[in-house]
């Protein structure tokens, strides 16, 4: 999979002129959505098929400041997948110089439109296989 790239915006900065920490969580979501698109099973398709994937937890460890007008690359890797729960790891790297800016993780489950936990293998074997191939 190709890393997701994000060009930092002025509105993402704080009073000190660095990217506010909360934006990293948004970037993780952007990268996750991009990963699903690259797999050919984007969120629009998932939701059209009645599958939802809420965030159960998210953590982010900040290593280096990111400033306005910089490119960052976000790599997403499947750390663990068991058909019900998906755990992802992320690395946020400044594109110029390849400096590590943050490491993060997120955990997701899969639910139907009624909010019930589902086993992906049973309701969507195609997506199940794609995630297994990445884990």
Which are the catalytic amino acids?
A: 14
How far, in Å, CA of 6 to CA of 94, rounded?
A: 10
List the Cα angle 92/103/131 in 5-degree steps. Answer: 85
Write the burial class of residue 78 (CB in 10 Å: 0-12 exposed, 13-18 middle, 19+ buried). Answer: middle
Q: Could you tell me which of 20, 9, 22, 32 has the C-alpha nearest to residue 90?
A: 32
């Amino acid at each position: 999979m190709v890393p997701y790239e994000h060009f930092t915006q002025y509105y993402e900065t704080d009073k000190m002129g660095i990217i506010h920490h909360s934006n990293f969580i948004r970037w993780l979501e952007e990268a996750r959505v991009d990963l699903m698109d690259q797999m050919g099973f984007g969120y629009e398709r998932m939701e059209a098929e009645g599958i939802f994937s809420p965030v159960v937890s998210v953590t982010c460890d900040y290593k280096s400041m990111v400033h306005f007008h910089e490119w960052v690359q976000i790599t997403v890797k499947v750390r663990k997948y068991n058909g019900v729960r998906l755990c992802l790891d992320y690395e946020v790297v400044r594109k110029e110089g390849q400096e590590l800016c943050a490491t993060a993780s997120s955990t997701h489950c899969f639910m139907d439109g009624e909010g019930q936990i589902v086993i992906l293998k049973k309701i969507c074997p195609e997506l199940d296989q794609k995630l297994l191939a990445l884990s």
